């Protein structure tokens, strides 16, 4: 088996990750990008599982990245200084915990120039990030981190886009890849003559900055089969998924989600009652189903188990 990103279940509706994996051989553990909501549950696997073959990631210079996050923390003389430090401590500790757990495992740096990786008849294509772009991100991050008064770029830009091919079917894992990343992914997909995806892990929890909705612009839905694609939306927060994105996904895919796309962040979406359009708190979504199973078969058939959004909304408590 391979593990691509993992975060503990806050509601404890699924078994602990070590119980879920059991004693099975893990061919790879993949961190698509260094954000805690994608990586926290990879730590126990890397630390405790005895049979992991490789660690996959997209960061071209992990040591410098972690070192700068520890030592270069811009702050200001202000009453909120302590809160800045607390947030930065959490981020630094996550990076330290995760990367120090890799220990002696062989690493594989993912970018679109990497040849497809074949494991037990399953072919894994890397549609993104572009190698140069990934390097540039780390360089820019380090440069800005060592200067003062700069805005750091979002690590979402490092997101790996994986396409899993088996029996003529393709499942695309979109990570938190943003609009720009998908332009390149579409080119790689076309250049390699890959089939259209029947399953898509919706990128960035259905955020507006991942799906280009402007007329005439290509977006990640162009990778998907027009007749039978299933979109899988992972738990978001009060701002994710974006309403327009959610409507587009429902129109063009059979949508299943781990979170209720219409509403459902725990607690109010705007606890401070800020009367400004677009102001939303970062509160995680209600998770309405803990598990969605996708089965790709060698004869080209596939099976997806889980409630689709129509059912999920119909049974919604909201």
Residues that bind other proteins (CB under 8 A): 61-64, 66-68, 70-81, 83-89, 92-93, 96-97, 99-100, 102-104, 107, 142, 148-154, 178, 207-209, 239, 271-272, 274-282
Query: Taking the complex as a whole, how short is the minimal distance between the CB of residue 196 and other proteins, in angstroms?
Result: 27
Q: Which is nearer to other proteins, 15 or 267 (CB)?
A: 267
Query: Taking the complex as a whole, how short is the minimal distance between the CB of residue 12 and other proteins, in angstroms?
Result: 23
Q: Which is nearer to other proteins, 43 or 230 (CB)?
A: 43
Q: Which is nearer to other proteins, 60 or 316 (CB)?
A: 60
Query: Taking the complex as a whole, how short is the minimal distance between the CB of residue 295 and other proteins, in angstroms?
Result: 35
Query: Taking the complex as a whole, how short is the minimal distance between the CB of residue 28 and other proteins, in angstroms?
Result: 16
Q: Does a cis peptide bond (omega within 30 degrees of 0) precede residue 241?
A: yes
Q: Which is nearer to other proteins, 133 or 281 (CB)?
A: 281
β-strands 117-119, 107-109: how paired?
A: unpaired
Helix (H) or strand (E) holding 236: none
Burial readout 177-213 (b: 16 or more C-beta within 10 A, e: otherwise): bbbbbbebbbebbeeeebebbbbbbbbbbbbbbbbbe
Question: What is the three-class DSSP state of 267?
Answer: coil
Q: Which is nearer to other proteins, 67 or 286 (CB)?
A: 67
Query: Taking the complex as a whole, how short is the minimal distance between the CB of residue 57 and other proteins, in angstroms?
Result: 10
Residue 289 contacts residue 265 (beta carbons within 8 Å): no
- Report how far residue 313's alpha carbon sits from residue 256's, in angstroms, rounded to the nearest whole number: 11
Q: Which is nearer to other proteins, 169 or 235 (CB)?
A: 235
Query: Taking the complex as a whole, how short is the minimal distance between the CB of residue 102 and other proteins, in angstroms?
Result: 6
- Report how far residue 60's alpha carbon sits from residue 162's, in angstroms, rounded to the nearest whole number: 17
Q: Which is nearer to other proteins, 67 or 266 (CB)?
A: 67
- Report how far residue 130's alpha carbon sits from residue 99's, in angstroms, rounded to the nearest whole number: 22
- Report how far residue 7's alpha carbon sits from residue 57's, in angstroms, rounded to the nearest whole number: 16
Q: How far apart, in Å, do the first and last CA atoms of the chain sit?
A: 37
Six token digits for residue 284? 């995680």
Q: Which is nearer to other proteins, 43 or 164 (CB)?
A: 43
Query: Taking the complex as a whole, how short is the minimal distance between the CB of residue 232 and other proteins, in angstroms?
Result: 22
Give the position of tokens 């059991």: 22
Residue 286 contacts residue 315 (beta carbons within 8 Å): no
Helix (H) or strand (E) holding 145: helix 131-146
> DSSP assignment of 227-265, as one string?
TT-EEEE---BTTBS-HHHHHHHHHHSEEEESB-SSS-B
Query: Taking the complex as a whole, how short is the minimal distance between the CB of residue 174 and other proteins, in angstroms?
Result: 16
> DSSP assignment of 19-49, as one string?
HHHTT--EEEEE-SSS-HHHHTTHHHHHHH-
């Amino acid at each position: 088996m391979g593990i691509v990103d993992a975060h503990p279940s806050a509601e404890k509706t699924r078994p602990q990750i070590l119980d879920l994996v059991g004693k099975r051989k893990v061919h790879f553990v993949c961190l698509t990008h260094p954000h805690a909501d994608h990586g926290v549950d990879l730590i126990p696997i890397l630390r405790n599982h005895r049979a992991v073959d490789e660690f996959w990631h997209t960061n071209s210079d992990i040591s410098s990245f972690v070192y700068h996050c520890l030592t270069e923390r811009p702050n200001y003389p202000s009453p909120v200084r302590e809160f800045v430090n607390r947030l930065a401590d959490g981020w630094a500790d996550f990076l330290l915990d995760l990367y120090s757990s890799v220990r002696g495992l062989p690493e594989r740096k993912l970018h679109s120039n990497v040849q497809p990786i074949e494991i037990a008849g399953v072919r894994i294509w890397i549609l993104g990030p572009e190698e140069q772009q990934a390097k540039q991100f780390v360089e820019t991050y380090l440069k800005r981190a060592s200067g003062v008064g700069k805005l750091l770029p979002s690590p979402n830009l490092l997101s790996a886009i994986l396409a899993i091919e088996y029996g003529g079917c393709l499942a695309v894992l979109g990570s938190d890849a943003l609009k720009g990343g998908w332009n390149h992914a579409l080119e790689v997909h076309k250049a390699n003559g890959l089939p259209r995806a029947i399953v898509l892990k919706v990128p960035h929890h259905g955020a507006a900055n991942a799906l280009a909705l402007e007329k005439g612009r290509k977006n990640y839905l162009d990778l998907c089969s027009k007749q039978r694609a299933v979109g899988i939306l992972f738990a978001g927060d009060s701002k994710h998924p974006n309403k327009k994105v959610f409507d587009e996904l429902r129109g063009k895919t059979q949508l299943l989600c781990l979170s209720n796309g219409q509403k459902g962040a725990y607690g109010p979406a705007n606890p401070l009652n800020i009367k400004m359009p677009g102001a939303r708190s970062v509160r995680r979504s209600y998770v309405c189903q803990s598990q969605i199973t996708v089965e790709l078969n060698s004869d080209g058939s596939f099976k997806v188990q889980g409630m689709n959004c129509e059912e999920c909304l119909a049974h919604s408590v909201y």
